[in-house]
Amino acid sequence: DIQMTQSPSSLSASVGDRVTITCRASQGISNYLAWFQQKPGKAPKSLIYDASSLQSGVPSKFSGSASGTDFTLTISSLQPEDFATYYCQQYYTYPITFGQGTRLEIK
């Protein structure tokens, strides 16, 4: 199985900050990488697919990039509604796997 390792596991930041979350795949997955945002008690919400394509309706403050087996999600100008848990997911091969999540908290 492909292991997806996110870092950091948790992150404290302030409103207005720019943050980056990293996801490393244990083997090559091309660009078959998605990012999701989840708030407590809610379903995950799609943000990014194909490593860098923005889901329709998602603000451009969210961006994704890829370099080999390393993937990053960048959120610029944090707002209160951005504080949530973020997950990466590879859909290159079965079983489909997620990262363990990164909890973004308000400092």
Binding span for other proteins by CB under 8 A among 11-19, 21-29, 34-42, 70-78? 34-42
Cβ atoms of 89 and 49 closer than 8 Å:
no
Shortest approach of other proteins to residue 98 CB, angstroms?
4
Answer yes or no whether residue 55 interacts with other proteins by CB under 8 A.
yes
Q: Which residues bind other proteins (CB under 8 A)?
A: 32, 34, 36, 38, 42-46, 49, 55, 87, 89, 91, 94-101
